[in-house]
Chain A
Amino acid sequence: MGAAWPGVSSAADADAVKRGAYLFNAAGCVSCHTDFKNGGPPLAGGRALKTPFGTFYGPNITPDVEHGIGGWSDADFVRALRQGVAPDGSSYFPVFPYTSFTRIREQDLLDIKAYIFSLPPSPTPSRPHEIEFPFGWRFLMGAWKWLNFEPGPMAAAADGDELARGAYLVEALAHCGECHTPRDMLGGSDREQALAGATEGPEGESVPNITPDPETGIGDWSVQDFLWLLKAGILPDGDVVGSLMGEVVEHSTSKLTEADQRAIAVYLRSRPAVRHKVGKRP
């Protein structure tokens, strides 16, 4: 049994695992790393994500030594999420949202690792990405990072600072901007239009503007409107979200405490309004 459970021997204390489970949900890891559609094992990878840069498959992140991340040290894990660099030194494609995860504080990263390492390993090989020319050249990622990536964690927030907690959830853990901020031709986030929505998001979906602009964004949403969405996927017009936000609600935001859901609402409502009408796809 020892060999099958590689990481758990390293005294992953129960509290860290528990905290890690919550953070893991907040970060929505399971959505991309589990192939729900085909009944794949949890976190064993395989979910396809279509983007303008190619189709990416979330890799196996179970603690399997050969196919997963079972052989990773704490430093390997922190470097992957903070710098977007794999243990072998290669760079990840930014479809893995390390550009947001870099802001996660170190203890939280280690708690997430402790939780992942408490789960069963799965010997499922990761599926290679199908990337559009020329984006497949990993060595170009260095230049891309120089242009588009600011590494480093967010400062610790005081207890009860709702705005700071919301910022940490939105900007780091829940990585909302990875879909809700438009990207330029090279896939870098357009910071001036942060959270202002994207016509062509993942899976070809148009992604709404979630800045508080009253006409093109969520300016007329109450905190309660946010709570219904984040808890249950219910929109202010009574519709219920499907597609990618449906997955986010199911696997991530519905599992947060109400205090955290509220913090997300408070933070999003506090941000500068950006007027940006997201086109509807035909």
Chain B
Amino acid sequence: MRNRAMMGLLGGMALVLIAGSPGAASAASDGAAALAERQAVMWSMQVHFNAIKDAIGAGNNKAVEDHASAINGFAKVLVNFFPKGSGPEAGKSRALPKIWEEWDEFTKRPEALAVESEKLMQIAKSGGDAKAMGDQFGALGKNACGTCHQNYRAPR
């Protein structure tokens, strides 16, 4: 019982935190703003991706680990950037309505992103070579980003 109350309290605090963050607050009230924010964070992921490419090429394990860590953090908040009403109805977006139709399924997706980015962090941290980091970076792109884009993003 106490645990449950504690969980409820923590959950409530988390909600307050999320609602207080610019992402979700305006999301509820303004689909277009939420869409713009989502596209901005997705763009920042692309920047981290390119930084990892460069870092693998340069053999800079620390940078690979740090950028993988940023992606890992993103996995935890990703679905917060998909509030209802922020799809194509809110502006130019390739997000498919399926996201909100099968929300429970969709919200499981970032798990792969968390797992694959964590693996990349560990490989970089433990001194993995370019091949090992490259293979895991590939798995991250293909199994995490790629499968979600295949299922939930419309073609260009």
- Which residues of A pack against B, CB within 8 Å? 203-206, 224, 228, 231-234, 237-244, 246-247, 249-250, 254, 280-281
Contacts and interface: CB of A to CB of B under 8 A. Distances in A.
A254 B156 contact: no
A241 B57 contact: no
B155 A250 contact: no
A49 B110 CA distance: 28
B41 to A, nearest CB: 13
B145 A240 contact: yes
Interface stretch (B4-12, B19-27, B72-80, B146-154): B146-154
Contacts of A233: 141-142, 145-146
A65 to B, nearest CB: 34
Contacts of A240: 49, 141-142, 145-146, 149
A111 B109 CA distance: 38
Contacts of A280: 156
Max count, chain A CB within 10 A of own CB: residue among B50, B57, B141, B152: B141
Give the bracket for the number of chain B residues in contact with chain A.
Answer: 20 to 34
Chain B interface secondary structure, helix, strand, loop or mixed?
helix
B45 interface: yes
Interface string B41-67: 000011111100100010000000000
A233 B142 CA distance: 6
Contacts of B48: 238
B150 A234 contact: no
21 contacts: A228-B53, A231-B142, A232-B142, A233-B141, A233-B142, A233-B146, A234-B137, A237-B46, A238-B46, A238-B49, A239-B49, A240-B145, A240-B146, A241-B146, A242-B150, A243-B150, A246-B146, A246-B149, A247-B150, A254-B138, A254-B142
Nearest to B146: A233
A227 B19 CA distance: 41
A206 B146 contact: no
A53 to B, nearest CB: 18
Contacts of B142: 231-233, 240, 249-250, 254
A21 B154 CA distance: 31
A242 B139 CA distance: 14
B150 A246 contact: yes
Contacts of B151: 242
A258 B156 CA distance: 28
Nearest to A36: B150
Nearest to B44: A238
Q: What 7 pairs across the A-B complex have the smallest Cβ distances? A: A242-B149, A238-B46, A232-B138, A240-B145, A232-B141, A205-B155, A238-B49
Nearest to B152: A242
Contact of B45 (A206, A232, A238, A244): A238
A49 to B, nearest CB: 13
A234 B49 CA distance: 8
Contacts of B47: 238
Contacts of B138: 228, 231-232, 234, 254
Contact of B50 (A206, A237, A241): A237
A234 B155 contact: no
A262 to B, nearest CB: 14
Contacts of B49: 234, 238-240
